[in-house]
Amino acid sequence: MDKALWVWTALFSASALFRLLSLGLWRKEQFRALAIMLATSLARDIALYKIPYTSHAYAVAWEATLPLLLTTHAYAAVSGYRAIAQLYPKIGRFAVRLFVACLVIAALACCGTLPWEITRVGGNQAFIRAMFLLYRGIDGLAAGALILACGFFRHFPKPMKQMPSNLMRHTGLLASYFATSCMLFLVENLAPLGATVVLERLHFALVGIIYATWTFGLSVKGEESEPWEMLPAGVADFMKRRTDTANALSRYASAK
């Protein structure tokens, strides 16, 4: 592992966490989930920093702490989706069904490379390969469900208010974060151990950029959510008259 790159990534992670706390954004569930995810990732990286990267102890520590990290990933993904769904009135159960449908589609997509990955899960590498597969699966599901659901919402009737810029930016960054991790561990599981050093460095760089964008892209003003602009009074009155006329003609035809 490139120590300098790790340090810069950790600093951006800490700065993003500090930004969330200083702006008070952590009071909202989606940003509280992000703060928990960042804090867990940062604490894990600090704990692993002193252990030699190529040692067996590093592998054991990495595997032991992975379930907690992935739990925070799942919480962040669900919280981000819930924040979007809450902007739509009376969406309730449909939002749950939509998210489940997106998860199913993402799961089917993730199964595309499973036959090749499973052949790697064997021998003395079985457990670490299984952890790679778990990492890829959780983050692939999270990224796929967020991307598919947000794609649906783009064509859905507008919510009561415009999407806050913080939420839009956060959702895009979260999906990108999960997608880059998914792609890294997909390649990790298909390649020999230790053969993806360049890709790992690229992943660290991309994650650092995402952390930096969270740090400088979120703001108090970004929480503003204005109602959609109303139609001009003349247009609204015209449409109301047309509607009233159509209703009157309908009642007349029914009476006849």
Per residue in 218-242, pLDDT tens?
Answer: 999 998 876 655 544 554 454 455 5
Number of domains in the chain: 2
Same domain, 149 and 249: no
Q: Distance of alpha carbon 166 from its chain centroid, rounded?
A: 13
Same domain, 247 and 157: no
Same domain, 76 and 159: yes
Give CA–CA dist 51/61, Å, rounded.
9
Same domain, 174 and 234: no
Same domain, 251 and 197: no
Domain with 124 in it: what CATH number?
1.20.1070
Same domain, 189 and 247: no
Same domain, 47 and 131: yes
Please tell me the predicted confidence (pLDDT) of residue 236: 45
User: CA 102, 108, 110: angle at the middle one, nearest 5?
Assistant: 100
pTM here is 0.83
Domain, as residue range, for 253: 230-256
Please tell me the predicted confidence (pLDDT) of residue 32: 96
Q: Looking at residues 40-51, what average pLDDT do you find?
A: 90
